[in-house]
Chain A
Amino acid sequence: MAIAAAGPDLSSPERVSKNGGDAMDANTEAQMTGVKNVHPLAVRMTHWINVFAMFIMVTSGWRIYNASPLFDFKFPRDLTIGGWLGGALQWHFAAMWILVINGLIYVAYGIVTRHFKANFLPLTPRSVWHEFTNALRGRIKHELGVYNAVQRAAYIGVIGVIVLLVLSGIAIWKPVQFQGLAALMGGFDGARWVHFIAMAMVVLFVAVHVAMVALVPRTLLPMFTGRASTTGHGG
């Protein structure tokens, strides 16, 4: 409670309106009943489809990596899917369509409905640093449906990294047909490194993301239902 009080007045109408998009009317109505829509349906759906696709991409990707490792280690077989290189490649090249199509829908939605603008902006390095140091001191405040500066930076960042992941993947898949793209990545071998590093960054994001949900468990249910109670929570 004390932590929430340290932040700005999060219940002001201005803040609530930042949810943006189609959720707004429902919010105004729902506010009276103490429930508001914090995550639009499109965001929830694309999020969980992305989880599914990314899970397949990463675990099959690890198996593909194992066929010709860049480093002196291989991923444990039990953490991979596909059974062998050919199987893993089948999973990888099937799930890539889900990942890319779902990602395009999400980005188009974010731009057209101004979801990105309403939820990820404004964003300044100063505010990110401020929130980050606060978080390190254990002062994590969380208003459901309102992202703090660190979250905004992380979400924008991971979207960028996934774009890089897809582009480097295309460069590896088609180093001749898309040789300009491959050259941007430092050629075929360079693209493999970019692809691996981008994967590692996504995995790191997921680890932190899931850890934060574990720290603030009440954020989990709204990611399924979209709704959160506007009363009875602080901290």
Chain B
Amino acid sequence: MGREDKSRLDRNLVAPGREIVKLERRLFLKRGLSLGALTMLSGCDVTDAESVQKVLWTMSRWNDSVQAAIFDPNKLAPTYPESAITQPFPFNAFYGESEAPRVDGAKYKLEVGGLVREKAPWTLEQLYALPQTSQITRHICVEGWSAIGKWTGAAFKTFLERVGADLTAKYVGFKCSDDYYTSIDMQTALHPQTQMTFKFGEQILPVSYGFPMKLRIPTKLGFKNPKHIAAIFITNDNPGGYWEDQGYNWFSGS
């Protein structure tokens, strides 16, 4: 469920074009720096905002590598009893719940690309045939709230092995039916709890939670859990992500 509710952050961000988003970011930056400029950056020209921005992005990339080093591929996220499940589990996206994409399950074909041996698309029927398990884990949003849900699906590692993915590649990228996109590191992709999710609780994954398939990654923040996945690709070039490209930390591990 991943994407953070844009409207909760700032309605201005819900703009059709990336350019407008960028402009908004500049405004944010200027507004955001106004206090800092007065108090601690006094003497600096406004154009220094550019270099401040550079430092912050550099630090964020540094934090990516620190988190990759801290990440223990065998450490499991805590699991909870059924009684701990959050009811109702919150909807979360960069658009309203009614705008969630309606994907036709019968016609659905998951594209597979990049550094893989088998590039044939997968039908929902084929995906459902993969061995499945359930997990009750905590979804932690970058905003600070969290919610516990029960997710059922196939280990992502199993899928990657079936398609003959290059498991030594660095990144797995995702493109979604709602134009969302994100990417994760291969270590996390192979984590035993990283799941291709087909069910929420006992029901087929509802539209609100990412029908027909989402990726559940309890070792990452919510926005790193893509919904309505249309394509998966393996690459060595960091594909970034919808929020990541705007400033959320790319690794965002828990």
Residues from 47 to 96 in A contacting B, C-beta threshold 8 Å: 52, 55-56, 59, 64-65, 67-68, 78-91, 93-94
A134 to chain B, nearest CB (A): 35
| Given known A-B contacts A94-B56, A97-B59, A174-B254, A85 and B143 have beta carbons under 8 A apart | yes
Q: How far is the CA of A25 from the CA of B243 in the complex (A)?
A: 57
If A52-B40, A188-B146 touch, whether A86 touches B253 (CB-CB below 8 Å) is no
Chain A, residues 181-199, CB within 8 Å of chain B (1/0): the string is 0000000110010000000
Within 8 Å of chain A (Cβ to Cβ): is B35? yes
Judged by a CB distance under 8 angstroms, whether A12 is at the interface is: no
Which residues of chain A come closer than 8 Å to B55, judged between CB atoms?
94
Q: Are the CB atoms of A65 and B144 closer together than 8 Å?
A: yes
A84 to chain B, nearest CB (A): 5
Does A84 contact B28, Cβ atoms closer than 8 Å?
yes
Question: With A and B bound together, what is the CA distance between A36 and B76 in angstroms?
Answer: 57
B126-167 interface mask toward A, CB cutoff 8 Å, 1 = contact, 0 = none?
Answer: 000000000000101111111000000000000000000000
The residues in B between 103 and 147 inclusive whose CB is less than 8 angstroms from any CB of A are: 138, 140-146
Instruction: Indicate which residue in A56, A65, A88, A177 contacts B75 across the interface (CB closer than 8 Å).
Output: A177
Contact check, A55 vs B57: say whether CB atoms are below 8 A apart.
no
CB-based contact A176/B59 at 8 Å: no
Report how far A94 CA is from B55 CA in the complex, Å.
9
The smallest C-beta distance from B184 to any residue of chain A, in angstroms, reads 14
Give, as a whole number of angstroms, the nearest-CB distance from A116 to chain B: 29
B147 to chain A, nearest CB (A): 11
In the assembled complex, the CB of A144 is this many whole angstroms from the nearest CB of chain B, namely 27
Instruction: Name which of A79, A175, A176, A188 has the most chain B CB atoms within 10 A of its CB.
Output: A176
Contact (Cβ within 8 A) B63 A176: no
Size class of A's contact patch? 20 to 34
Are B32 and A85 interface neighbours, CB within 8 A?
A: no
Report B34-56 CB contacts with A as 1/0, cut-off 8 Å: 11100110000000000000011
Nearest-CB residue, chain B, relative to A63:
B32
Flag if B144 contacts A192 (CB, 8 Å).
yes
Taking the closest CB of chain A, its distance from the CB of B51, in whole angstroms, is 13
* Contact among B138, B219, B249 for A93, CB-based, below 8 A: B249
Q: Name the CB-closest residue of A to B70.
A: A177
Per-residue CB proximity of A1-44 to B under 8 Å, as 1/0? 00000000000000000000000000000000000000000000
B57, A90: Cβ atoms under 8 Å? yes
In the complex, are the beta carbons of B247 and A176 less than 8 A apart?
no
Of the candidates B9, B40, B218, the one whose C-beta lies within 8 Å of that of A85 is: B9
A93 engages B59 (CB within 8 Å): yes
- For B34, list chain A residues within 8 Å (CB): 78
Contact of A179 with B by CB under 8 A = yes
Contact with A68, one of B35, B138, B144 (Cβ below 8 angstroms): B144
CB distance from B53 to the nearest CB of A (A): 9
Residues of A within 8 A of B72 (CB): 177
Instruction: Assess the A83–B140 pair: CB atoms within 8 A.
Output: no
Distance from A2 Cβ to chain B, minimum over Cβ atoms (Å): 39
Residue in A68, A87, A91, A174 with the greatest tally of chain B CB atoms within 10 Å: A87
Do A84 and B253 touch across chains, with their CB atoms under 8 A apart?
A: no
Decide if A188 touches B247 in the complex (CB within 8 Å).
Answer: no
With A68-B145, A174-B70 already in contact, the answer to whether A86 and B246 are too (CB < 8 A) is yes
User: CB of B60 within 8 A of chain A?
Assistant: yes
CB < 8 Å neighbour of B33 from A83, A176, A189:
A83
Q: Which residues of A contact B8 (CB under 8 A)?
A: 67
24 A-B interface contacts by CB (under 8 A): A52-B40, A55-B40, A56-B36, A64-B144, A67-B142, A67-B143, A81-B32, A81-B33, A83-B27, A83-B32, A83-B33, A84-B25, A85-B142, A88-B32, A89-B248, A90-B56, A91-B56, A97-B59, A174-B253, A177-B71, A177-B254, A179-B78, A188-B138, A188-B140
The 8 closest A-B pairs by CB, nearest first: A83-B32, A83-B28, A86-B247, A68-B144, A94-B59, A67-B143, A90-B56, A68-B143
**What residues of chain B have their CB less than 8 Å away from a CB belonging to chain A?**
4, 8-10, 13, 25, 27-36, 39-40, 55-57, 59-60, 63, 67, 70-72, 75, 77-78, 138, 140-146, 218-219, 243, 246-249, 253-254
